[in-house]
Amino acid sequence: MEQLTDPFARAITYLRVSVTDRCDFRCSYCMDEGTRFLPRADLLSLEELDRLCSVFIGLGVRKLRLTGGEPLLRRNVMSLFRGLSRHLETGALHELTLTTNGSTLAAHAADLAACGVRRVNVSLDSLRADRFRAITRRGDLGAVLAGIAAARTAGLRVKINTVALRGVNEDELIDLARWAGAEGHDLSFIEVMPVGEMPMQDRAATFLSLAEVRARLADHLTLTDLPETTGGPARYVRAAETGQRIGFITPLSHGFCEACNRVRISATGTLFPCLGQEGGTDLRAPLRGSEGDAALTRAIRAAIGRKPRGHDFGYGAGGATGQVGRGMNRTGG
């Protein structure tokens, strides 16, 4: 079938799918403490998620990431990984992966590897147990580190995702980079984004430009720019002292929209062509409205045809610009 292409001639080859909005953490920059989760009946079934992902693969998606919330909390989620692995075997899908907070990764790492998953992204914003619990509001650092170790034992490559937060974890970003390098993990730093119904003054106060982070790292590590990409938004450098790649995901200080090749689907079946725009398209109705995929394919193509050039994220003296009200746990990380 004809490759999915947006109005700006960008081929859509990367799909992120939220399998649940539930999470066992309440990270301070991501979710409000009182977040209410959707009724389970509102979520797509695992069979519907498989069908939806398979249609996108037939339309040219080559990289598929399952997200949440916390994806490993979804009951029987490994059956979805096992089902989707058939597309790896045929070569239609080049990569099947996930982003996780790592809290239950130890229990699933070997099964993920058996399903053809070759790497995982793990969110980790601090190596200090008390600070980690404060940021996540309930996370157990020991369980996350055990999950990371289990992933490595299972043969999975691990990339650490760290949100850089001024006044919160900025004093240990260099330590995190050194730790990840010593453990053999790549690392990506991420700027905090104005996504979700949370006080924007708090977000603005903790915003830390990654240009500043890179400058600080360069005082301790020898960094060389790399031309390579994983198909995501990060710009990478190589740290000579550790050999690791360090990525910088800069949606605010240095936009990356010009090469955007990805879209997101929520756990309820809403397609979001852009993380930083409110508009979405319901795919659940055409998915459930017919046993065939023609109506679903038309809805997908129409939605991609409305994909905007980029987002409008920003922080200024007047607060946040481009704020998106839906939370990341509903959008898919």
Q: Is residue 159 a known part of a binding site?
A: yes
In 3-state terms, what secondary structure has residue 11? Answer: strand
β-bridge pairing 245-249 and 63-67: unpaired
Q: Is residue 103 a known part of a binding site?
A: no
- Measured between alpha carbons, how far is 325 from 254 in angstroms, rounded to an integer? 22
Q: Is residue 53 a known part of a binding site?
A: no
Q: Is residue 307 a known part of a binding site?
A: no
Q: Is residue 123 a known part of a binding site?
A: yes
Per DSSP (E only), the strands in the chain are 14-18, 63-67, 95-100, 119-123, 157-164, 186-191, 223-225, 235-239, 245-249, 262-265, 270-272, 281-282, 314-316, 319-321
Q: Is residue 262 a known part of a binding site?
A: yes
Q: Is residue 328 a known part of a binding site?
A: no
CA separation, residue 1 to residues 4, 276, 279, 303 (Å):
9, 29, 26, 17
Q: Is residue 245 a known part of a binding site?
A: no
Q: Is residue 306 a known part of a binding site?
A: no
Q: Is residue 193 a known part of a binding site?
A: yes
Q: Is residue 23 a known part of a binding site?
A: yes
Nearest-10 Cα torsion for 102, 106, 109, 110: 180
Show binding-site residues: 16, 23, 27, 29-30, 65, 69, 99, 123, 159, 193, 257, 260, 262-264, 274
Show binding-site residues for [4Fe-4S] cluster: 23, 27, 30, 257, 260, 274
Show binding-site residues for S-adenosyl-L-methionine: 29, 69, 123, 193
Show binding-site residues for GTP: 16, 65, 99, 159, 262-264
